[in-house]
Amino acid sequence: MTASTTTTGRSQPVRLAGLGSYLPERVVTNDDLAQVLDTSDEWIRTRTGIRERHVLASDQATSDLALAAARQALDDAGTTVDQLTAIVVATTTPDHTVPGTAPLVAAALGTEVTAFDVNAACSGFLYGLRVGSSLLATGDDAVLVIGAETLSRIVNPADRSVAVLFGDGAGAAVLVPDERASLGPFDLGADGRDPSMLWAEAGGSRTPVDAEVLTGGSHFITMRGGDVYRNAVARMVASSQAVLDEAGVKVEDVDVFVGHQANLRILEAVGQRLGIPADNTHVTVDRHGNTSAASVPLALTDARDAGRLTPGDTVLLSAFGAGLTWGSCLLTWQPSGPARPAGTDGSGAAA
Ligand code: UT7
């Protein structure tokens, strides 16, 4: 097997017509965690850049978070549920093992359109965008892509090596065909040779949950942090460079870099190796922690809300996660809202 396992898709005339996000109300700070774990605000901040994270309530599940983000994205797009033709939920923490989470979100929205999950862990939203744009290329009208996660449900709260890292949340985007915008090219890849680098070993068909699992805690997520860190930097750099090369875009023409928010040091290392100025990297990991598949859409929505995206901007998205999986793509930013005839939005930006 070669080290290069990526695939590259063409750029498509697709616009993110609406963005939405949802973060649970409860905020857990590093100091809160230091009350119950052998850790400190100083350790967490210097190793990860994380200051706080949101944690869902006991009566919430992933689909609830997804639904809230989805409603906001639909409002933002000016798209009605009737106009949607498909719903893709990227998650590695579904409500149930069976069925998928997307049908539950669809039902809550009041639609029976195509609805399915994508599990590519923290790269899930990038995979979801690729699937969504492919659906549009073959005739769909409007695809809702959601990244939603509740990692706090699969983290052992007593394991400081992971309990401090993750947060819960959801982000969503409505994808529509639009000649004045573009999404892609994509570079997606996976290397499943060593899944134990980052996994929840038990709870699936290989090792079903039994009393021994529950006692030993092998249904919780574990990670070899250093190995994951090195792979994350290398894969996000190579994958980002692949889409830049494929698109013929110079790194200095990237206006905003929205990377997977796992660790500030990873984002900085990726930015430095690619040559992206630190100011052009959008950071939310300090406030959100690592929200897995939700991190990229949460960060993209946050960047938009912070006024960082202007029409015609070239945005680089990149993510890395368990699997291993990774993915990157370019996005030509155009404002939210319903499709308008070319030349009537005043942006003057071409696809
Ligand atoms: O979302 C998918 C992608 N995920 C990632 O990209 C995460 C990648 N990995 C990382 O971000 C980093 O590896 C971590 C933040 C997880 C860990 O940072 P590190 O600098 O690699 O630390 P380490 O695992 O090498 O641990 C260093 C020390 C150890 O103690 P000793 O053996 O040196 O005495 C750990 O036991 O820090 C200790 N440690 C902690 N100390 C205080 C581990 N977790 C904690 C903690 N508080 N929460």
The span from the CA of 140 to the CA of 125, in Å, is: 18
Nearest CA to ligand 1 atom 38: 161
With a cut of 50, say whether residue 350 has pLDDT above it: no
- In the chain, DSSP assigns E strands to 6-9, 14-22, 26-29, 52-55, 86-90, 114-118, 143-150, 168-177, 182-190, 198-200, 221-223, 256-259, 314-321, 325-332
**What's the burial of 262, exposed, middle or buried (CB within 10 Å: 0-12/13-18/19+)?**
buried
Task: Determine which one of 54, 260, 282, 288 is catalytic.
Answer: 260
Ligand 1 pocket, residue 186 CB under 6 Å: no
| Structure confidence by residue, pLDDT tens digits, 168-212 | 999 999 999 999 899 999 999 999 999 999 999 999 999 999 999
| Structure confidence by residue, pLDDT tens digits, 59-114 | 999 999 999 999 999 999 999 999 999 999 999 999 999 999 999 999 999 999 99
The answer to whether residues 51 and 30 touch, using CB atoms and an 8 Å cutoff, is yes
Amino acid at the residue 335: P
Ligand 1 pocket, residue 225 CB under 6 Å: yes
Kindly report the pTM of this predicted structure: 0.95
- Residue 9 pLDDT level (bands cut at 50, 70, 90): confident
Cα pseudo-dihedral 62, 67, 72, 77, rounded to 10: 120
pLDDT, position 345: 46
Ligand 1 pocket, residue 266 CB under 6 Å: yes
3-class SS of residue 95? coil
With a cut of 60, say whether residue 135 has pLDDT above it: yes
The answer to whether residues 299 and 284 touch, using CB atoms and an 8 Å cutoff, is yes
With a cut of 70, say whether residue 301 has pLDDT above it: yes
Q: What tokens does 127 get?
A: 């995979």
Centre of ligand 1 to C-alpha 269, Å, is 16
| Structure confidence by residue, pLDDT tens digits, 210-243 | 999 999 999 999 999 999 999 999 999 999 999 9
- Complete domains list, the chain, with CATH: 1-335 (3.40.47.10)
Active site residue 30: no
Task: Determine which one of 30, 54, 119, 122 is catalytic.
Answer: 122
The answer to whether residues 63 and 104 touch, using CB atoms and an 8 Å cutoff, is yes
The answer to whether residues 119 and 146 touch, using CB atoms and an 8 Å cutoff, is no
Of 92, 65, 67, 64, nearest to 144 by C-alpha is 67
Active site residue 96: no
Whether a cis peptide bond, with omega within 30° of 0, leads into 335 is no
Rounded to a whole number of angstroms, the CA Rg of the chain reads: 19
pLDDT, the chain, mean: 94
Of 263, 306, 305, nearest to 288 by C-alpha is 263
The span from the CA of 281 to the CA of 316, in Å, is: 9
Of 100, 99, 21, nearest to 66 by C-alpha is 21
The span from the CA of 151 to the CA of 94, in Å, is: 10
Whether a cis peptide bond, with omega within 30° of 0, leads into 183 is no
